Structure 1
């Protein structure tokens, strides 16, 4: 099995989500289910049925987060020095239309396209893995194949620091 890696930022975000579900949302939901169950017939009790469904969703998410965080190695991109694309790299590429894109390669569960964070298992990251500035890669995407030229690689540079600063006051907000 491949080593599981997360950035320090990703670890903090996923741990906060786990803690919220485990310490806040799950106990609240268990109490609501217990209160609804105490009202009598459970077969037609919408509050009870909905609560049980929500509890299953919470437990499913907790299981996923637990597996994700279990045995993970936390890596700070600022500590990496390499001239090749790898975990934690911020890469700038140019497509065949001259459009440039910048992404940072992060671990499973911490990707966030709004901030340019892409999973190491994504097609783009897999195609760029191990490449150097000047290399050309073809990436197979659902919309078709696209060619990128690798323009820059940096670890822990200004782009990464801006992402970290953007999340400085971040708090987990539940989606369930």
Structure 2
């Protein structure tokens, strides 16, 4: 079939953007122990389970003959590229990871990486956040990246302190109510 009638691009899938936020230049990739273990487990699962299963399907589909209209083959090759891209990404992130165990933080009364912080904004709303690595951030679950504006405002503050958070909407004052470090 002529490529003019097939909705495929000639671009390599590796040109796709990053899967997670990139780190600022010269900054370490801090991670909690749990975050590091989660990424390693995902890499192992992709390498030992998913990739071999997809390779088997692609091999079977390729043996069926005409590959141009073989959905199993085309989808399998696409999925294989996605898995390989994710494995490369995880490998690079794990190579530069700096694992930090918040449980051994000596200054538990001050906000640092891994801290769980309860703060109140100037509207009177309370928020509980845990400061984690870039690859572990889940803002809707209260897990914010250590390079986020809120985390940067909170870092080095103590219970009772009020810190200034500058946002596009203006300046907000955050009063720190609690600082704690979850046990591993």
Per-residue CA deviations over 1:123-161 (Å, capped at 9, x if unaligned) read 2212323333312222426xx34442222322x2xxx24
User: Are positions 1:17 and 2:42 aligned together?
Assistant: yes
> Runs (4+) of structure 1 moved beyond 6 Å?
none
Aligned mates of 1:139, 1:15 — CA distance in 2: 35
Pick closer, same or farther for the CA change 1:139–1:32 going to 2, 3 Å: farther
Aligned mates of 2:149, 2:165 — CA distance in 1: 10
Corresponding residue of 1:70: 95
Correspondences of 1:135-146 after superposition (within 5 Å): 135-140=162-167, 144-145=169-170, 146=172
Aligned mates of 1:24, 1:93 — CA distance in 2: 42
- Deviation at residue 92 of structure 1 after TM alignment: 1.4
Corresponding residue of 1:125: 151
Aligned mates of 1:49, 1:140 — CA distance in 2: 46
Corresponding residue of 2:127: 101
Relative contact order higher in (CA < 8 Å, ≥ 6 apart): 1
Q: How large is the Cα RMSD of the aligned pairs?
A: 1.9
Corresponding residue of 2:15: none
Corresponding residue of 1:170: none
- Partner of residue 81 from structure 1, selected from 106, 118, 124: 106
Greater C-alpha Rg: 2
Per-residue CA deviations over 1:51-83 (Å, capped at 9, x if unaligned) read 111111111111221111113222111101224
CA contact (8 A) 2:31 2:99 kept: yes
SS at match of 1:81: coil
Corresponding residue of 1:31: 56
Structure 2: runs of 5 or more not aligned: 1-25
Aligned mates of 1:15, 1:104 — CA distance in 2: 21
Structure 1: runs of 5 or more not aligned: 165-176
Pick closer, same or farther for the CA change 1:36–1:147 going to 2, 3 Å: farther
CA contact (8 A) 1:26 1:55 kept: yes
Please give the TM-score of this superposition, normalised by the length of structure 1: 0.79
